[in-house]
Amino acid sequence: MKLEAITYQPIGMVHTPHKTPQGAPIQPTGARGAVGRAVLKPELAPGLKDLAGFSHVILLYHCHLAGQANLEVKPFLDAEPHGVFATRAPARPNALGLSVVRLKGVEDNVLLLEDVDLLDGTPLLDIKPYVPDFDQPPGPVKTGWLAGRAADAGTAKGDQRFE
Amino acid sequence: MKLEAITYQPIGMVHTPHKTPQGAPIQPTGARGAVGRAVLKPELAPGLKDLAGFSHVILLYHCHLAGQANLEVKPFLDAEPHGVFATRAPARPNALGLSVVRLKGVEDNVLLLEDVDLLDGTPLLDIKPYVPDFDQPPGPVKTGWLAGRAADAGTAKGDQRFE
């Protein structure tokens, strides 16, 4: 399979209270109230026009502290190994992270964020408005090995395993 | 702001019935029943272990047909221009696409998908299990200029504007 490499230029950086993976929230559910800022390159500020009308944004970012990917990982919420694509582990073939966070305001090239689980200094690749009509599937959802465990992300904390 | 470029190697390619942007669905809500396949590089197949237990996956991909980004765009669902980060337009500073699609099965290195709005031949960057506890924010959601319009994505079709 011939596929060309794809290069992105970060659009900015995210600043949060979570300085290290150890002790950091593993999902936004474990980061309620945590305040952060996304600072875009100043020249991209016009791209934020009208974003302030949305209460939540999807951040796509590079997990810059993630170590080498393994195809099977023991995630934070289970003692059993799973395929990396069946987990949200940051150390993955492409270390892309995704978080739905609360947007409290937009000031020039800066987003004021809440419920932020990102690590401080994370390079930001994209911002999308969160739209339930687009982003929530209709009908029932099955969550495989995470059924009955996902809620634990509200209290679970990260450690060094994916550095 | 000094930020290093980030290079990803696609993990595979997505095959769908949507051959061109013109006439393609603009969101999964407009692609109900559309069947597709994600074919991973064979060596990545172990990363799919246990994914079949999930009913939906988040696909992160490169919008390979997107043209040059503009910071203000007229999206498919409005005649007024908006900041590109307040839209889901594919032509954006980093042409990252995100779709929540239905997972019908996993066969070796192939995902069988439904409700697929991706264009045929899209390079795939990541697969994450969709988990409502992680991906749906608690409480009410405001959708800015898309309020009252997002449901139109069920019938709206793409055109050439972002090529």
What are the pLDDT digits (tens) for A19-52?
999 888 988 888 888 999 999 999 999 999 999 9
CATH number of the domain that A78 lies in?
2.40.30.70
Out of B1, B54, B55, whose CB is closest to A86?
A: B54
Residue A88, in any domain of the structure: yes
Tell whether A143 is within 8 A of chain B (Cβ): yes
The Cα of A129 is separated from the nearest Cα of chain B by a number of Å equal to 6
Report the pLDDT averaged over residues A54-78: 94
pLDDT at B39: 98
Tokens linked to A11: 């659009």
- Give yes or no for residue A4 having a pLDDT over 90: yes
List of residues 6+ apart from A43 with CB closer than 8 A: none
Q: Given the cut 0.90, state whether the ipTM is greater than it.
A: yes
pLDDT band at A142 (very low <50, low <70, confident <90, very high): very high
List of residues 6+ apart from A78 with CB closer than 8 A: A145, A149
Residues of chain B with pLDDT below 50 are none
* Phi–psi pair at B145, nearest 5 degrees: -65, -15
Residue B158, in any domain of the structure: no
Q: Which of A81-85, A159-163, B15-19, B91-95 has the lowest mean pLDDT?
A: A159-163
Residue A163, in any domain of the structure: no
Residue B74, in any domain of the structure: yes
A29-33, A79-83, A106-110, B64-68: which is most confident: A106-110
Residue B40, in any domain of the structure: yes
**Measured distance CA(B136)–CA(A103) in Å, rounded:** 14
Farthest-apart Cα atoms in chain A, separation: 46
Instruction: Please report how many Cα atoms fall inside a 13 Å half-sphere around the Cα of residue A15, on the Cβ side.
Output: 7
pLDDT at B77: 87
Interface size between A and B, measured as CB pairs under 8 A: 274
Residue A63, in any domain of the structure: yes
Residue A5, in any domain of the structure: no
- Find the domain containing B25 and state its range: 12-132+142-152
Out of A48, A134, A150, whose CB is closest to B29?
A: A134
Residue B1, in any domain of the structure: no
Out of B55, B126, B128, whose CB is closest to A141?
A: B55
User: Residue A103: helix, strand or coil by DSSP?
Assistant: strand
List A residues 60-89 in contact with B (Cβ-Cβ < 8 A). 60, 62, 71-72, 81-88
Tell whether B121 is within 8 A of chain A (Cβ): no
Q: Say how many domains are in chain A.
A: 1
pTM of the model: 0.96
In angstroms, the Cα distances linking A135 to A97, A138, A152, B20 are 16, 10, 22, 23
Report the pLDDT averaged over residues A8-21: 95
pLDDT at B114: 95
List of residues 6+ apart from B118 with CB closer than 8 A: B14, B16, B18, B36, B59, B61, B97, B99
Instruction: Find, among B43, B23, B45, B25, the residue nearest to B34 by Cα.
Output: B25
Residue B41 CB coordination number (10 Å): 17
Q: Are A154 and A76 in contact (CB under 8 A)?
A: no
- Strand ranges (DSSP E) for chain B? 6-8, 12-15, 35-40, 56-62, 72-73, 82-83, 96-107, 110-114, 122-129
